[in-house]
Structure 1
Amino acid sequence: MSIAQRERQKLVETMTAVGPEAPTLCGTWTVRDLAAHLVVRERRIDAAPGIMLQPFAGYLERVQTKVASQPFPELLEQVRTGPPWWSPLRPVDALANLTEMFVHHEDVRRGSPGWMPREISQADEDKYWSLVSKMARRSYRKSPVTVVLESLDGKRAVVRSRPGEEVTLTGAPSELLLHSFGRDEVRIETTGEPDAVSTVLGLDRSV
């Protein structure tokens, strides 16, 4: 079973446990809204372009609202079973959903106060490091200072290089990955001049 498949199953378990109206880290979205987003992304190829393309955003919103109105158990079953056989995402599920399922699982877990980081295997952390050390170049592209990611075992990656000041973000690869996807509910440490650190932490890191 791939990491994406494991995270998908855990995501559905967590969604079931917290309920449809629980908050998430995705702005104003509830768990129901997030589940509807995942269903549309994988099953409504007519509306999915609206996730990335503004001209189609209105249609996407209408479709997503309708999908969200389904009974919650039915919505979660569609998330659990993943892309249907005809979906373009089906053949590439393990890759295309590697970060999607992990990040959104944590969006649900960390949407309410009192969350704690969960234990993640070293093999999975190694995979997340491989991803974040490359993908984060896009996340921190607007930084006016150098940004370095450092894992807890000492691996380092310069994801934004600029003259002058440098900020280092240190943490488990899974935490660094979440931060690079714009999440602030993370456990990381920062090194650098206070103003530079504040600038990096306040960046628009959306990808």
Structure 2
Amino acid sequence: MTLARDERAALVDTMRSVGPDAPTMCEGWTVKDLAAHLVVRERRLDTGPGIMIKQFAGHTESVRAAAATEPWDDLLAKLADGPPIYSPFRLVDRWANLAEMFVHHEDVLRGGADKGGPWQPRPLSPDMQNALAGPVKGMGKLTLKDSPAEITLRTREGVDLVTAGRGDTVVVTGTPGELVLFAFGRTPVDVEVEGDGPAVEAVKGAPRGF
């Protein structure tokens, strides 16, 4: 087993526990909607461009919506099985799917959390935190490049993982797991955002992710 497979199994267990109609951090999506997205991502390669390119998003969403009508247990079984043999994700699962499974697991776990209230993230193993530092570097450059400030994502140990964007300097400090979630635009997330007041407010209000 790899960390990506372990996180996939944990995600499926959590989805089964909360049920298909539970909320997620993906606005407008239930847990079943999210499961359909993950299944389609790995099994319908024609939907890939629509995840990042707006012109193709309609096709991607129509395929995902159709998948969301499948029986709940069937969707979970497909998600648990992982990428099929024809999917390129099968060869790169341990790298391409670690952050994907982690972020969407947190989407489910935090789906009902009060964004402005007290809240605690789940503990992660040192191995998992170390492994998530890689996606912070890769995804942070992509998702934060248009930020209204120059953002540095820094670990609690003082290691700068990535800097992106332009403008006044803002430092976002947290564990690699929380920094991944920040880079993907998730809320709530357990980080400290430091810098000049207007720059910090601009960063907090700016869209992130895809």
Over 3 Å counting, the alpha-carbon distance change for 1:62 and 1:160 in structure 2 is closer
Three-state SS of the structure 2 residue aligned to 1:47 is: helix
* Aligned residues of 2:31 and 2:108 also touching (Cα < 8 A): yes
User: Do residues 3 (structure 1) and 3 (structure 2) align?
Assistant: yes
CA contact (8 A) 2:25 2:108 kept: yes
Query: For the Cα contact (< 8 Å) 2:151–2:170, is it kept in 1?
Result: yes
Structure 2 residue aligned with 1:206:
209
For 2:178, the aligned partner's letter is E
Structure 2 partner of 1:99: 99
Counterpart contact for 2:47–2:59, Cα < 8 Å: yes
For the pair 1:143 / 2:139, whether they are aligned, the reply is no
The whole-number CA distance in structure 2 between the counterparts of 1:88 and 1:133 is: 22
Q: Is the 8 A contact 2:148 2:206 kept in 1?
A: no
What is the letter of the counterpart of residue 108 of structure 2?
V
Q: Deviations over 1:6-54 (max 9, x none)?
A: 1100100110011000111111010000001111111122334332343
Secondary structure at the aligned position of 2:163 is classed as strand
TM-score if structure 2 supplies the norm length?
Answer: 0.90
Q: Is the 8 A contact 1:140 1:160 kept in 2?
A: yes
8 Å contact 2:113–2:188 — kept in the other structure?
no
Which whole-Å CA distance do the structure 2 matches of 1:74 and 1:128 have between them?
A: 29
The yes-or-no answer on 1:189 pairing with 2:162 is no
Change (3 A) 1:75 1:159: same
For 1:73 and 1:9, the matched residues in 2 are separated by 14
Alpha-carbon deviation of 1:191? 1.4
The 1:85/1:131 distance shift into structure 2, 3 A limit, reads same
Which stretch has the larger CA shift, 18-27 or 126-135?
126-135
**Aligned amino acid, residue 61 of structure 2:** E
Please tell me whether residue 36 in structure 1 is matched to residue 36 in structure 2.
yes
Aligned CA RMSD, in angstroms, stands at 1.8
Partner in structure 2 of residue 170 of structure 1:
173
Structure 1: gaps spanning 5 or more residues: none
Q: Specify the code of the residue in structure 2 equivalent to 1:99.
A: A
Amino acid across the alignment from 1:31: V
Aligned to 2:62: 62
AA in 2 matched with 1:173: P
Distance 1:75 1:158, change over 3 A: closer
Segments of 4+ moved more than 6 angstroms? none
Normalised TM-score (structure 1): 0.91
Moved more, 108-117 or 21-30: 108-117
Question: How far 1:177 moved relative to its partner?
Answer: 0.8
Give the direction of change, closer, same or farther, for the CA distance of 1:140–1:50 in structure 2 (3 Å limit): closer
Provide the identity percentage: 47
Is 1:159–2:194 an aligned residue pair? no
Amino acid aligned to 2:156: L
Q: Distance in 1 between matches of 2:195 and 2:54?
A: 37
- With 49-58 and 125-134 compared, the bigger mean Cα shift is at 49-58
State the 1:60 CA deviation: 2.5
- The Cα offsets for residues 46-74 of structure 1, whole Å up to 9 and x where unpaired, read as 33433234343333333222211111111
AA in 2 matched with 1:18: V
